[in-house]
Amino acid sequence: MQEILKMRWFYFFGFIFVGINCYFLSKDEILLAAVPVALLLIYAAIYHTTFLFLLIVFFTPLSINIEEYTGGSIGLFVPTEPLLFGLMILIVVVQFSHRIFEKEFLRHPITIIFIIQFCWIFLTSITSELPLVSFKFLLTKFWFIIPIYFFGYLVFKEEKNIFRFIWLYIAALSIAVVYTLVNHASYGFDEETGHWVMFPFFKDHTSYGAILALVYPIIVGFFIGRKNSPLVRFTLLFLIVLIGFAIIMSYTRAAWLSLVAATAVYLLIRFKIRFRYLLMVGFAGLIYIAISWTQIMHSLEKNNAEHATENMDERLESMANITTDGSNLERLNRWYCAVRLWEERPFLGWGPGTYAMVYAPFQLDAFKTIISTNSGNRGNAHSEYLGPLSEQGLPGLIIMLVLVGYIFYTAITLYIRMPEGDMKLILLLITLGLVTYFVHGILNNYLDTDKATVPVWGFTAMIVMLDLRYKKRLNAEKNSV
């Protein structure tokens, strides 16, 4: 009865607010129209938190950075980041009052690494060159990771929410892809316009290509690995063609490379290649590179292949062009600046999120390109690994590498132990999706955006949930024998 009364009061006040706002809208007071929406979101957050979580997932590929419309004064992805911030506050309050996270989850190595990372970012924010920027960066980390990884773990305990998460993200991404392709088609699918036609949903073609590559193994895996109805199979086949064509038309060479890496990892898992053999091959490869370094550099300097060509072989070859390719040269410039920043402050770094503001004086004329800038308005370190190195020192890089390494260690060892079924297939596919992202992360970095953070840490939460669940099952089976 009390619930019915609550709902009646909710609808009563809702209608009042709608009526008042309609009046003020007629007076051009547009902002007041947000009041009923805000009330509905607060209600959803309190009484239907999982629904709000999944709503954020759907909005993510379609979110827009208002920085482009505020002259760079405010960088915020809407509607996702305000919703994530509100959800974070709710989760923290509920955790302190009810302790919703069990000890097994809080003690999981991946959770512990996240907590260590938070602590290190906090410490390096205190010592930062620009503390205000760094503490804002830390706050952003909180509202990305707490709702998506921590709360996501609870949401994914209901396994159907894993499928909902994946399908909602892919559905919304498909809308952005169709918009981009239609827009691109009006310019004849040429490469120059292919760098920006995904705006406003994506800032440029590299972030767009990275996210397309991240979901592509999942779509292909669903089509090949699951028994589906004819309608679902047709939908998956359509998505394979649509997203595949979009990846090609994104002109993002790093995305193509990341898919090759994911295929290689799949083959290693499929044929159960032992880790020690990979270690031996990798060690032998490093020795070869060290011995042949001079010859390799001479070969790279002779590479004049341009990515602005319709020949796919030449496009792939251009990835190693460090002589005339402006994009490659500028990336090397940013990497070299990151290393020089680290050499200046090797342990604590310059402060989280500060790279774009501090790297300009560390550019050398020999490394500058026609697209170099001193204003810090064209991206940052272009690496998920060198960024933390320059901003958080050597410990920041080590924490990031350990986090990525343990995610894959957990996923692959769990995959070997899991029984056949949908969850085992899901585990494999999200692992391959993460491979594409973290390989891409060598060349670019997008974990400061909702587009990448939501799927990457969402997939990580799925892996941890499955790991803890199947450990319990295996332990129960051992005890029952």
CA distance 431 to 463: 8
How far is it, in rounded angstroms, from Cα 369 to Cα 372? 5
Contact of 330 with 308, CB cutoff 8 Å:
no
DSSP secondary structure letter of residue 419: P
Residues facing residue 65 across a β-bridge: 77
Q: Please list the residues that pair with 78 across neighbouring strands.
A: 64
Q: Is residue 22 part of a domain?
A: yes
- For tokens 């011995």, what's the residue? 291
64: which strand partners? 78
- Separation of alpha carbons 165 and 50, rounded Å: 11
Q: What is the mean pLDDT of each run of 10 residues along the chain (481 residues)?
A: 46 61 57 60 73 95 84 78 92 88 95 98 97 95 96 96 97 97 94 92 94 97 90 95 96 92 92 73 69 57 53 54 66 91 96 94 81 69 94 97 95 92 96 96 92 97 96 69 55
Half-sphere exposure of 428 (CA within 13 A, CB side): 25
Note if the bond before 200 is cis, omega within 30 degrees: yes
Cα-Cα-Cα-Cα dihedral of 450, 452, 455, 457, to 10°? Answer: -90
The secondary structure of residue 304, as a DSSP letter, is: -
**DSSP string over 127-174:** T-SSHHHHHHHHHHHHHHHIIIIIIHHHHTTSTHHHHHHHHHHHHHHH
**93 within some domain:** no
The total of other beta-carbon atoms located within 10 Å of residue 62's CB is 16
CB contact at 8 A, 446 and 210: yes
Q: What is the pTM of this model?
A: 0.88
Query: How is residue 91 written in tokens?
Result: 């989760």
Q: Is residue 212 part of a domain?
A: no
Report if residue 43 sits inside a domain. yes
DSSP, res 258: H
| Phi and psi based region of residue 343 (left: phi greater than 0; alpha: psi -120 to 50; beta: remaining) | alpha
Q: Within a domain: residue 375?
A: no
In angstroms, rounded to a whole number, what is the distance separating the alpha carbons of residues 59 and 428? 25
Domain count, the chain: 1
What's the domain range around 21?
Answer: 1-47
Query: Which amino acid, one-letter code, is at 33?
Result: A
Phi first, then psi, for residue 65 (nearest 5°) are -85, 115
* C-alpha–C-alpha distance, residues 66 and 79, integer Å: 10
